[in-house]
């Protein structure tokens, strides 16, 4: 079965809105996607019928506790984990800084922490600060500039018995590169190093199985996959149990409460559940999965359908961009290698500053990002820090061929 994009688009109220009198084209998805009506309804329902703090004996508090429990189950189904291994926070960045403080207790002077020049700085700065505090050494994993992929041979050569943490992305938020996560985790395990995977940019596009990957930690954000602003952390049970959490004294040591500091964003959790259910429903409506199947199976089927459609969009975009003179695409451009990237595309046009291009597109209601997107090491490595970085667009399953054609027409004549 195939995805019906016209039906999909009807589920997103923002896609029906007009801005300055005409509809918008949302190509700003790498920074955050739009949300379906069911997510909006779930947040509204929570605030009307369930709004309370936790562990009370009255109805709204009981319903809030049930919402939190269901959110952990939804996160587990999304990532292939156990519910107690799912931790919620305000965003991926905050969760990473929070956890890094606990991991730092196990880092000594002379230990090595590997970070990559492909990553968003939220998966770099926490480890730089950890190294500064603990006297550890930061080791940089380089990229292949020609296609913005991680230099795996060089990375492997830098892993040794002093390596304690390897932090890397599942997919780059700037070049779209998908890393060979399983191989990196395997190398880390050979020397007993902890692995921390930033899956923020991969989660909207691919099926994640943390048990198969065997990573120690993985983080993502629901506002990148059609949900509210919320961060999700997976941690192996043994790691979450062993590490010391920085928390208020009355908070229990049981999982996952041990790591969820303060009052959670309860309405956000309600929206998160609905966002996961929305993805699962795609697996039923367009992937042929049975309605009574486990949610995890529905999610897997959904991503098969989403991947297939996004591949069509990517081929169309790459075909058309390749014909524009003086335009350079950064990252993998070979259409036979689309399984090695997500549909996030950064580019520059000779003689045009990315900010100028973004302004022109915005004037036509085509929403795109310009700049470095916190991928500052990649920008520096490519020599673009003083040149304004990239123009970046990202495609998801509610985008269309017609939107790509409109984008191309503007880029060609400007």
pLDDT in tens, 345-359: 999 999 999 999 999
Which helix (H) or strand (E) element contains residue 9?
A: helix 5-10
* CA neighbor of 389 nearest in space, from 173, 213, 206: 173
The per-residue pLDDT for 26 is: 98
Instruction: Band the pLDDT of 209: cuts 50, 70, 90.
Output: very high
Chain mean pLDDT for the chain: 97
Which residues are bridge partners to 371 per DSSP? 389, 390
* CA neighbor of 274 nearest in space, from 58, 119, 71: 71
Evaluate the omega torsion of the peptide bond into residue 256 and state whether it is cis, within 30 degrees of 0. Answer: yes
Mean pLDDT to the nearest integer, 99-111: 98
- pLDDT of 1 > 90? The answer is no
The per-residue pLDDT for 229 is: 98
The per-residue pLDDT for 52 is: 98
Which residues are bridge partners to 128 per DSSP? none
The dihedral through the CA atoms of 36, 39, 43, 44 has a sign that is positive
3-state DSSP assignment of residue 310: helix
Question: Which two structure tokens, joined as six digits, stand for 87?
Answer: 């931790």
Mean pLDDT to the nearest integer, 63-73: 98
Which helix (H) or strand (E) element contains residue 141?
A: strand 137-141
- pLDDT of 343 > 80? The answer is yes
Mean pLDDT to the nearest integer, 288-310: 97
> Phi and psi dihedrals of 311, rounded to 5?
-65, -40
Mean pLDDT to the nearest integer, 301-315: 98
Q: What is the distance between the alpha carbons of residues 338 and 171, in angstroms, rounded to a whole number? A: 12
Question: Which two structure tokens, joined as six digits, stand for 148?
Answer: 């913005």
Q: What is the distance between the alpha carbons of residues 58 and 246, in angstroms, rounded to a whole number? A: 30
The per-residue pLDDT for 321 is: 97
The per-residue pLDDT for 20 is: 92
Question: Which two structure tokens, joined as six digits, stand for 384?
Answer: 């673009």
Q: What is the distance between the alpha carbons of residues 329 and 275, in angstroms, rounded to a whole number? A: 32
The dihedral through the CA atoms of 181, 186, 189, 191 has a sign that is negative
The per-residue pLDDT for 174 is: 98
Which helix (H) or strand (E) element contains residue 34?
A: none
Q: How far is CA 229 from the centre of its chain?
A: 12
Instruction: Band the pLDDT of 319: cuts 50, 70, 90.
Output: very high
Instruction: Band the pLDDT of 324: cuts 50, 70, 90.
Output: very high
Q: What is the pTM of this model?
A: 0.98
- pLDDT of 215 > 90? The answer is yes
The per-residue pLDDT for 392 is: 98
373: Cα within 13 Å, side-chain hemisphere? 31
Q: What is the distance between the alpha carbons of residues 12 and 15, in angstroms, rounded to a whole number? A: 6
Q: What is the distance between the alpha carbons of residues 22 and 19, in angstroms, rounded to a whole number? A: 5
Which helix (H) or strand (E) element contains residue 89?
A: strand 86-89
The per-residue pLDDT for 117 is: 98
Mean pLDDT to the nearest integer, 300-308: 98
> Phi and psi dihedrals of 196, rounded to 5?
-130, 115
Asked if 178 contacts 162 with a C-beta cutoff of 8 angstroms, the reply is no
- pLDDT of 340 > 90? The answer is yes
Q: Residues near 65 by Cβ (< 8 Å), separated by ≥ 6?
A: 54, 55
- pLDDT of 212 > 90? The answer is yes
DSSP labels, 142-176: PEETTTTEE-HHHHHHH--TTEEEEEEESB-TTT-
Tens digit of each residue's pLDDT (9 = 90 or more) over 166-188: 999 999 999 999 999 999 999 99
Q: What is the distance between the alpha carbons of residues 3 and 286, in angstroms, rounded to a whole number? A: 5
268: Cα within 13 Å, side-chain hemisphere? 15
Mean pLDDT to the nearest integer, 307-317: 98
Instruction: Band the pLDDT of 39: cuts 50, 70, 90.
Output: very high
* CA neighbor of 99 nearest in space, from 85, 110, 112, 109: 85
Q: What percent of the chain has pLDDT over 70?
A: 100
Torsion of the alpha carbons at 290, 293, 295 and 300, rounded to the nearest 10: -60
Mean pLDDT to the nearest integer, 315-328: 96
> Phi and psi dihedrals of 353, rounded to 5?
-75, 140
- pLDDT of 16 > 90? The answer is yes
* CA neighbor of 72 nearest in space, from 260, 228, 293, 283: 260
Q: What is the distance between the alpha carbons of residues 385 and 77, in angstroms, rounded to a whole number? A: 40
- Please count the other Cβ atoms lying within 10 Å of the Cβ belonging to residue 267: 20
């Amino acid at each position: 079965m195939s995805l019906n994009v016209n039906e999909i688009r009807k589920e997103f109220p923002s896609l029906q809105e007009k801005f300055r009198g005409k509809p918008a084209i949302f190509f700003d998805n790498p920074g955050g996607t739009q949300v379906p009506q069911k997510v909006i309804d779930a947040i509204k329902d929570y605030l009307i019928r369930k709004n309370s703090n936790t562990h009370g004996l009255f109805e709204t508090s009981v319903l809030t506790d049930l919402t939190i429990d269901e959110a952990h189950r939804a996160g587990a189904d999304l990532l292939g984990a156990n519910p107690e291994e799912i931790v919620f926070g305000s965003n991926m960045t905050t969760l990473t800084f929070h956890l890094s403080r606990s991991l730092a207790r196990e880092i000594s002077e002379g230990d090595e922490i590997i970070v990559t020049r492909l990553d968003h700085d939220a998966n770099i700065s926490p480890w730089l600060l950890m190294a500064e505090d603990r006297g550890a050494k930061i080791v940089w994993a380089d990229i292949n500039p020609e296609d913005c992929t991680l230099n795996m041979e060089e990375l492997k050569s830098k892993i040794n018995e002093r390596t304690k943490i390897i932090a890397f992305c599942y997919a780059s938020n700037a070049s779209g590169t998908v890393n060979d996560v399983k191989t990196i985790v395997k190398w880390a395990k050979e020397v007993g190093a902890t692995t921390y995977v930033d899956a923020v940019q991969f989660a909207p596009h691919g099926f994640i199985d943390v048990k198969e990957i065997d990573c120690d930690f993985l983080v993502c954000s629901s506002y990148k996959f059609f949900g509210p602003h919320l961060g999700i952390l997976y941690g192996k049970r043994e790691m979450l149990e062993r590490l010391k959490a920085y928390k208020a004294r009355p908070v229990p040591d049981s999982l996952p409460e041990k790591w969820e500091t303060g009052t959670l964003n309860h309405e956000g959790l309600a929206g998160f559940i609905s966002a996961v259910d929305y993805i699962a429903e795609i697996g039923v409506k367009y992937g042929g999965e049975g309605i009574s199947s486990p949610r995890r199976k529905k999610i897997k089927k959904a991503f098969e359908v989403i991947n297939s459609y996004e591949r069509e969009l990517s081929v169309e975009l790459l075909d058309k961009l390749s014909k524009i003179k003086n335009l350079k695409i950064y990252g993998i451009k070979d259409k036979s290698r689309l399984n090695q990237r997500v549909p996030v595309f950064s580019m520059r046009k000779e003689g045009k500053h990315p900010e100028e291009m973004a302004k022109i597109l915005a004037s036509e209601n085509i929403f795109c990002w310009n700049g470095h997107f916190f991928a500052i090491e990649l920008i520096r490595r490519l020599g673009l820090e003083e040149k304004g970085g990239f123009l970046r667009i990202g495609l998801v399953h509610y985008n269309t061929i017609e939107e790509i054609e409109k984008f191309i027409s503007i880029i060609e004549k400007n």
